[in-house]
Structure 1
Amino acid sequence: MPAATHPLRIANYRSYWLARLASTIAQSALAIVLGWQVYSIARETMDIRDAAFLLGMIGLAQFVPLFLLTPIVGLIADSIDRRWIVRGTTTLLALTTAMLGFATWEGWLGLPALFGAAVFVGVARAFAGPAYSALAPNLVPRESLPTAIALGSIAMQVGFIAGPSLGGLLFAIGPIVAYAGMTVMFTVALLMLLTIGRVPQPPAQKDRRPLARIADGFSYVKRNRLVQAAITLDLFAVLLAGATALLPIYARDILHVGPSGLGLLAAGMGIGASVTGVYLSLRPIKTDVGAKMLIAVVVFGLAILTFGISKIFALSLAALIVAGGADMISMYVRGSLIQLHTPDEMRGRVSAVSQLTISASNELGEAESGLLASLLGPVAAVVVGGIGAIAVTLLWSRLFPELKNARTFDPPAEPLSVVPPETQHGVSQP
């Protein structure tokens, strides 16, 4: 077998990687600014628990459009040029940050505009997620895909590190400067996406009705227990242990480190994930992949539990760094299993199902964290979440032995598919 081509030697993948990096920097900067502004405005008239609830609703505002659009965005990613989908969503995000900058300039920026921006972000992410995920395997040879996934994760995690710090720095200069900077970064991402040349696109299954094709994605995940286990484990673990929504509370009212400390806390998980991602790109996981994912999620839960009870800034930051590294391993294994076990003509729909669970664990997890914090207090909410993530992992190791026993990323000789054989004629498999 010839040596795998390094993904960054491929021009189309380089443009894709730079676009993801620039877009993630801008999105994570936007997230930290939105969260800080919503919480600060709420604290002017509310106590900490009511403000925490409102902060969690920012996540819900992003999740609702994603949830409603998921049934169709995967089908769209499998039916039209994936490059134009991500170009369109990047344009929407650039217009959203430009709108926020204009609202700030005119003096009418408030909670309605901030929540409206969160909805636009949710719409953009709904369409971009499956398209980005399904596009990557079309840009590199199959044997290079695990490395490409690791590099893509590095781009995202570097963005998670740089974005909050950049957003906090620019916001300290002035809100208009922050929104202008985000608009520039989204524009850079769009320019990179426009340089990606033509890539393979699986032919549409014209003899299958749209509703049946949408159902195929969910049916495939249901029947492939290994993919189902990887997706649902991440869903419940991060849903329970998602502490990022409460970072403004910790920075302002628990650790007392202010906006600058918030930027460091928000970058913590990205630092751990980036270091781990670099390591995985150089030394990819090849054996006992399922067991390593389970161990990583347990470590993630322990790290979140440590963060929840810590009152020392350095320990809190270290716990988030460890959590980010563990989450990177889990994400690497999950992404490789999903992409390598899914036929190309279904990658958009299966990626949409995966994105729905990821968004449920992230954005819906933010709402859950805010609600739980409003009932129990922020510290108890994080501690309960960390313990819950560990419990779910132990349960999944028993419910899904396919995950625990997965030795490599190699799919079975005959890929599992729910598409009738007569509709697969002429459709290339990955």
Structure 2
Amino acid sequence: MSVMQTLQSFESRNFRLFFSGQMISMIGSFMAETTTAWLVYSLTNSVAFLGLFGFISQFPHLMVSPLAGVWIERFNRRTILITAQFTMMIVSLILAVLALTGLVRIWHIIGASILQGLIASIETPTRYAFIVDIIKKKEDITNATALHSSLLSGSRIVAPAIAGIIIANFSPGHCFLIDTISYIAVIFALVAIRFDKPLILQKNHHHNIWQDLKEGFTYAYKFLPIRYILLLIALFSFMGMPYLRIMPVFAVEILHGDSSTLGWLTGASGFGALCGGIYLSYRTSAIGLEKIIAIAPVIFGIALITFSLSNNFWFSLMTITIVGCGYILEYSSSNAILQTISEDEKRGRIMSLYNMFVMGIIPFGNLFIGGLASILNAKNALIFGAICCIIGSISFYLKLPIIEKLVQQSYIKVA
């Protein structure tokens, strides 16, 4: 495989603009996310409150994402994205002013995070659906999705380190200010995008929004590949992904490290995710991704169990890298398949359900696995979650023949 094949989506001018704007904006956003967590802990000195804060900032994804799917299909997706980015820029600017003037309080951060969570629950599925609008060829969906996932993973590695340096040498307010400025890049990129044909919007505008919502759920349930993928994603998000919240326990109590140890573990997980995204970018189509969806939770689960049992820092670093690779293979492959096989007029609703089963389920998983860790211990809680992911993977694998057949039929139909 050549480097050009890995970057085949960049043949599209629109995707190049989109990717460049997102690259700058994502680094700013993850800097702000790191800064927000640091401020919450410094203002409250409470780990429990930090966990609760993480829950309330992500909870809107569960409630709003399904409705967002209907709006995505009724209105121009670029307009939605520009409006969302501009609103989040204003919120970040307000936080920057409050932090730089020393007036920031915990209720400011909570209010801002809830508002940004609401906006993100609309912006995220819109962004997923918008990728299909801007690439040249349908077969590039897998490549574009993988490159987008690599961008997110890379930003998660770089941004926290930059935020830490700026907080130490300047102030949290400067991080929010940088985040504010970073939104300009993605807004400019969205404005500069040109379309050869109008975006596909839902034709049935006379339908009640609740009818459209029901239609989306019915379509997702009756089309077996979508149903099984979403169910596996929900299980994976609930049982597997909370490992990130438990990571500080392993860094301090099991590996006997400090904040730098946590940074290494988090960075290694992000690096593994980046590698997984790069691997997927080599694929030329969505055909065959069903096998990766079936196998990835097993890779993730075995690596997570091995990590949980490790007391050696370097071995833990190696296994957590594989964990990161496993989760990005699962999420990105599922994203690409869903985008490819969904009908154009229902893609927004399907991607909103995908976002709901990822971002909306993870907070509940954090509460469940966190509570389980307090009853048992962190090791056993993660092992239990990993075993559940493996069981879910086996169940999905048993349905793989019919899923592959239906995916191939859909792929030929929409190609």
TM-score by length of 2: 0.87
Partner of 1:77: 72
Paired amino acid for 1:331: Y
- Given that 1:252 and 1:258 are in contact with CA atoms closer than 8 Å, whether structure 2 keeps it comes out as yes
Partner of 1:360: 360
Separation in 2 of the partners of 1:39 and 1:249?
A: 16
Partner of 1:168: 164
- Deviation at residue 219 of structure 1 after TM alignment: 1.0
Partner of 1:182: 179
TM-score by length of 1: 0.85
- Determine if the alignment matches structure 1 residue 118 to structure 2 residue 113: yes
Instruction: Show CA shifts across 1:252-289 (max 9, x none).
Output: 55445444443333232221121222232224476643
Paired amino acid for 2:151: A
Separation in 1 of the partners of 2:10 and 2:411?
A: 29
Instruction: Show CA shifts across 1:337-367 (max 9, x none).
Output: 1011111111111111111001134333333
Instruction: Show CA shifts across 1:52-108 (max 9, x none).
Output: x43322232123322221232111110111112112222232233323322322334
Separation in 2 of the partners of 1:84 and 1:339?
A: 20
Separation in 2 of the partners of 1:255 and 1:276?
A: 26
- Given that 1:54 and 1:370 are in contact with CA atoms closer than 8 Å, whether structure 2 keeps it comes out as no
- Determine if the alignment matches structure 1 residue 342 to structure 2 residue 339: no
Separation in 1 of the partners of 2:238 and 2:61?
A: 16
Paired amino acid for 1:320: I
- Given that 1:297 and 1:326 are in contact with CA atoms closer than 8 Å, whether structure 2 keeps it comes out as yes
Worse-superposed segment, 196-205 or 157-166: 196-205
- Given that 2:270 and 2:321 are in contact with CA atoms closer than 8 Å, whether structure 1 keeps it comes out as yes
- Determine if the alignment matches structure 1 residue 147 to structure 2 residue 143: yes
The size of the alignment, in residue pairs, is 406
Partner of 1:298: 298
- Given that 1:237 and 1:390 are in contact with CA atoms closer than 8 Å, whether structure 2 keeps it comes out as no
Separation in 2 of the partners of 1:41 and 1:307?
A: 32
User: Unaligned 5+ residue runs, structure 2?
Assistant: none
Partner of 1:237: 236
- Deviation at residue 409 of structure 1 after TM alignment: 5.2
The within-5 A match list for 1:86-125 is 86-125=81-120
- Given that 2:286 and 2:336 are in contact with CA atoms closer than 8 Å, whether structure 1 keeps it comes out as no
Change (3 A) 1:321 1:327: same
SS of the aligned residue for 2:84 comes to helix
Change (3 A) 1:211 1:192: same
- Given that 1:251 and 1:261 are in contact with CA atoms closer than 8 Å, whether structure 2 keeps it comes out as yes
Worse-superposed segment, 290-299 or 96-105: 96-105
Instruction: Show CA shifts across 1:189-234 (max 9, x none).
Output: 2222222224632243124332211211111110111111112212
Change (3 A) 1:103 1:310: farther
Find the partner of 1:137 among 115, 127, 132: 132
Paired amino acid for 2:36: L
Partner of 2:13: 11
Q: Going by fraction, where is helix more abundant, 1 or 2?
A: 2
Separation in 2 of the partners of 1:319 and 1:333?
A: 21
Change (3 A) 1:77 1:287: closer
